[in-house]
Structure 1
Amino acid sequence: MKKIVICGGHLTPALALIEQFENDKNCQILFFGRKYATEGSESLSAEYRVITQKGIRFFSVETGRLQRKFTKFTIPSLLKIPLGFLESFIFLLIERPTLIISFGGYLSVPVVFSGWLLGIATIAHEQSIIPGLATKINSIFAKKLFLSWPQTLSYFPKEKCQVIGNLIRKSIFKTSAKSIKISQFLNKSKKLILITGGNQGSHFLNKLVFTSLDIFDNYHIFHQVGTANFKGDWDFAARLKQKNYLAIDYIQPEDIGAVLNKASVVISRSGANTVWELAALAKPAILVPLPIAALGEQKANAKILEKAGSSIVIGQKDTDSKVIKTAVGQIITDYAKYKNDAQKFQKTLPLDAALKMALFIRKFCV
C-alpha cells in the first residue's frame, strides 16, 4: 500500500480529495496539519477534529509563519519555523510516502521542501484566484500544479499547470443533518441566514452578530462561530438563549450540506473555498472580505461572485448593523434576481476537480 501525505491549512478541498480514497485499498492517507486552531490557542483545530474522527493518522507539525500584524505570538512563531522543517523532515523520513499533496497555507512549506530534499514528489492545488505565498514557494518544488481559476495561470509556469476548478465535498449537496440539534433547528427555520467566518471563525463577524441580533427578528440565524474561540467568542455565543438563534463552533461535514441548502442568504468572509461552495450551490450571499488577507486575495474572490450578480460585497470598515440589515433586505426583496444570477454562474463551474485530481494521484499508487 502506497502512502500519500496531505498537508496545508485548507481543510475543505482536502476532505473532498479524501472522499475519493475512502474505499481505496492501494493508498493510505496521512495528514500533516496543525493540532490547535491558532497560535497560542488551546482549542483543537477543525482539521485535527475531523481527520482524527475519520481514523486517518494525523501528524501535528508545529511551525511558525510570517504574521500579518505584530502580536505577542509573532516572535515565538518565527522561532518555530526551523522546528517545522525539522519535524516535517523526520516524519517524512520515517514514513517514506510516495507523494505529497499540498493545499497551500504556511504549514505546507516545510513539508513540501523536506519532501523535495528526500526525493518525494509533490503536487499542489491552489484554490484562490490570487495564489498565496505558500503555493508560490511550493511551486518551485512541485511536479504538478492544479488550479481553480484560469486567471491564476499567469502566476506559474504553464507547463506545470492544469485548471480543474476547486475540489468540492459531496457532503455539501446533502439536505439532511446528522446532528439532531441542528436538524431540529433547521426544521423550524424560516428565512434562514447562515453567518460564518470560516473554520477558525471571524471575531469581527462574531461581534457584529452579538450586537445585532435584534435586526434579525424576522429570520432564523445559524451562526458558525469558529474553533479559535478568539476573545471568548464561542463562550459568549453558547450563553445566548434566543429561539431564532443557534451557534455552533464548527459545522461537521455530515451537517454542512443541510445548513447550506436550507439557508436563504449566507453572510461570510470570502475565502476561496467558501466562495466556490456558495457558487456551486447557487447561494445569494453578503461577503465581507478579510482586509488583511494576503495580496487582497479575499477581495478578488468576492469580486467573482459580485460580478456574477449573486452577492453583495461590503468592505469591513463599511460594515455595521445598519449596512448588513439593508443588504439582507435588498437580497430578500429581489431574491429571484439574485438566485437566478447565482444559478447562471453555477452552470459555468467544473464540479469534478476532486475526481480529476484523484485519477492523477492514483498513477503513483500502482
Structure 2
Amino acid sequence: MNKKQIIITGGGTAGHVMVNLAIIPVLLKEGWTIDYIGSKRGIEKDLISELEGVNYHSISTGKLRRYMSIENIKDPFKVLKGTLQAFRIIGKKKPVVIFSKGGFVSVPVLIASKLRGVPAVIHESDYTPGLANKIAIPFAKKVLATFKETLEYIPAQKAEWVGAVVRDELFTGDKETGLRLTNFKRDKDVLLIMGGSVGSKKVNEAVREALDQLLTTFQIIHICGKDNIDSSYEQPGYIQYEYVSDELKDLLEIADIVLSRAGANSIFEFLALNKPMLLIPLSKNASRGDQIVNAQSFKKQGYARVLEEENLTVDRLVQDLVSLQKEKTAVIEKMKNYQSVKAKDRVIEIIKEEAKE
C-alpha cells in the first residue's frame, strides 16, 4: 500500500472543487499519488482534467433533489451504482485516506470509503451543511468547517473549525495584466460581477438593464456564465466572460468591489483579498437557503451589503453598488481584521493525521 495514496472527491459546482484545487498542488509537491472521483459531466471533470499528475475517475451519481421529480425514483439506483463503482476504485487504488469537498458525487464515495475501512475527511464551506454532506457525515472520521458557527451542526467528536481555504494563486494577481486584459483605465473604479460557475440569469438581466447608469460610475467585468455572453451590449468599459480560470487573479487585482452570489468559497476568497461585496444570494425558491445565511453572516460582520433576489430591481442594484463604493474604505478596514488559522496547512495536516491512523 502506498502510504501517500489519496482519493479526492467533490463536484457539481465550482464551489465543490475550489478547495480541492487549492490542496492538490501541495500534495503533489509532497509526493502524494492522487486519484479524483467525480461525475461524468460535472464541472469538476473540466477543472481537474487540466491538472497534471491527477487520475480522474467518473462514477454514477444521483442529484438528491429536494423537490418532486420522476428522477427521484432513479436516484437511489444511481447512488447504488456509484457506490459500487467507488468501492471498486478504492479497492484497486488502496488509498490511505479520502478527502471530500461535498456535492452529490461525494455521497457514493463516502459510503464506499466506510465499507472499505478507509478514513475520510469532509470539508464543509457553508454556514450549515449541505444535503450531500449531511448524508455523508456519518461515514466520515473528520468534518472541517469554514464558518465557526457550523460546528453547532456537526457531531462534536468529528468537528474542527479550520477557516477558509483560499487558493495561493489568487494572491499573485498583476494589476498591469488585468488592465491589459480588459483595456480599462485607472481613472474609474472597477466592478467585478460573478454569478456563480453557471451564471445567473436574473443577475445578468438586472446588470444589463442597469448598464448605462452603472457605466457612469464603474468599469465593469461581467463573468456571466456559459453561453450567456450578449455581444449586443459590447462597449468601452464593459467586458464579458463566460468563465474565467487563469485570468481571475489578475481581474480580482484590479477589482475595487464585487457583485456576487453568496457561495461560501467565493465570498471567503473575496474576504481574503479585501474586496467589498454586494451579495445577491440564491433565493430559497432555487436553493436550500444556504447562500442567504452565508450572506447575512458577512453582512453582520460588515464585510458585505446584501440584496435579496426578491428585491432585485435596477434602481436598488445601482443604489446599493454606489453606496458600497462610498463605504468601501471602511469595509476594507473591517476585512483586514479578519483572522483565520492557516486553513490550507491545517487541512493538509489533518489529511496526514488520518492517513497515519
TM-superposed CA distance for 1:343, in Å, is 2.5
Residue by residue over 1:125-152, the C-alpha shift from the partner in whole angstroms, topping out at 9 and shown as x without a partner, is: 1111211122222221111121222211
Corresponding residue for 1:6?
A: 8
For residues 57 and 125 of structure 2, what CA distance do their matches in structure 1 show?
Answer: 23
For residues 143 and 303 of structure 2, what CA distance do their matches in structure 1 show?
Answer: 29
Q: Aligned to 1:249, which of 239, 242, 246? A: 242
Q: Is residue 2:325 matched to residue 1:339?
A: no
Corresponding residue for 1:31?
A: 36
Corresponding residue for 2:84?
A: 86
Equivalent residue of 1:21, what SS?
A: helix
TM-superposed CA distance for 1:194, in Å, is 0.9
Q: Is residue 2:203 matched to residue 1:201?
A: no
- Counterpart of 2:51 in structure 1: which amino acid? K
Q: Aligned to 2:27, which of 21, 25, 31? A: 21
Identity of aligned residues (%): 29
After TM superposition, the score normalised by the length of structure 2 is 0.88
For residues 96 and 285 of structure 1, what CA distance do their matches in structure 2 show?
Answer: 44
Q: Aligned to 1:302, which of 284, 295, 301? A: 295
Equivalent residue of 1:80, what SS?
A: helix
TM-superposed CA distance for 1:362, in Å, is 2.8
Counterparts in 2 of 1:66 and 1:50: CA distance versus 1, 3 Å: closer
For residues 122 and 231 of structure 2, what CA distance do their matches in structure 1 show?
Answer: 38
Counterparts in 2 of 1:137 and 1:77: CA distance versus 1, 3 Å: closer
TM-superposed CA distance for 1:123, in Å, is 0.9
Equivalent residue of 2:28, what SS?
A: coil
TM-superposed CA distance for 1:103, in Å, is 0.9
Residue correspondence of structure 1 range 144-293 to structure 2 within 5 A: 144-176=142-174, 183-185=180-182, 188=185, 190-218=188-216, 219-226=218-225, 229=226, 232-233=227-228, 236-237=229-230, 240-252=233-245, 254-292=246-284
**Matched length:** 346
TM-superposed CA distance for 1:294, in Å, is 5.2
- Counterpart of 1:196 in structure 2: which amino acid? M
Counterparts in 2 of 1:114 and 1:304: CA distance versus 1, 3 Å: same
Counterparts in 2 of 1:237 and 1:75: CA distance versus 1, 3 Å: farther
Corresponding residue for 1:50?
A: 47
Corresponding residue for 2:95?
A: 97
For residues 238 and 71 of structure 1, what CA distance do their matches in structure 2 show?
Answer: 36
TM-superposed CA distance for 1:70, in Å, is 5.2
- Counterpart of 2:5 in structure 1: which amino acid? K
For residues 72 and 205 of structure 1, what CA distance do their matches in structure 2 show?
Answer: 30
Listed as ranges, the gaps of 5+ residues in structure 2 are none
Q: Is residue 2:343 matched to residue 1:353?
A: yes
After TM superposition, the score normalised by the length of structure 1 is 0.86
TM-superposed CA distance for 1:353, in Å, is 1.0
For residues 118 and 177 of structure 1, what CA distance do their matches in structure 2 show?
Answer: 49
Residue by residue over 1:78-128, the C-alpha shift from the partner in whole angstroms, topping out at 9 and shown as x without a partner, is: 653333223322322332222110111111111100111112211111111
Corresponding residue for 1:111?
A: 109
- Counterpart of 2:259 in structure 1: which amino acid? I
For residues 199 and 341 of structure 1, what CA distance do their matches in structure 2 show?
Answer: 28
For residues 65 and 168 of structure 1, what CA distance do their matches in structure 2 show?
Answer: 27
Contact 2:175 2:254 in 1 (8 A): no
Counterparts in 2 of 1:221 and 1:83: CA distance versus 1, 3 Å: farther
Measured on the aligned residues, the alpha-carbon RMSD in Å equals 2.5
Contact 2:178 2:254 in 1 (8 A): no
Contact 1:279 1:305 in 2 (8 A): no
Counterparts in 2 of 1:288 and 1:4: CA distance versus 1, 3 Å: same
For residues 237 and 223 of structure 1, what CA distance do their matches in structure 2 show?
Answer: 11
TM-superposed CA distance for 1:330, in Å, is 0.6
Contact 2:196 2:260 in 1 (8 A): yes
Contact 2:164 2:340 in 1 (8 A): no
For residues 193 and 200 of structure 2, what CA distance do their matches in structure 1 show?
Answer: 10
Equivalent residue of 1:192, what SS?
A: strand
Counterparts in 2 of 1:54 and 1:122: CA distance versus 1, 3 Å: same
- Counterpart of 1:333 in structure 2: which amino acid? K
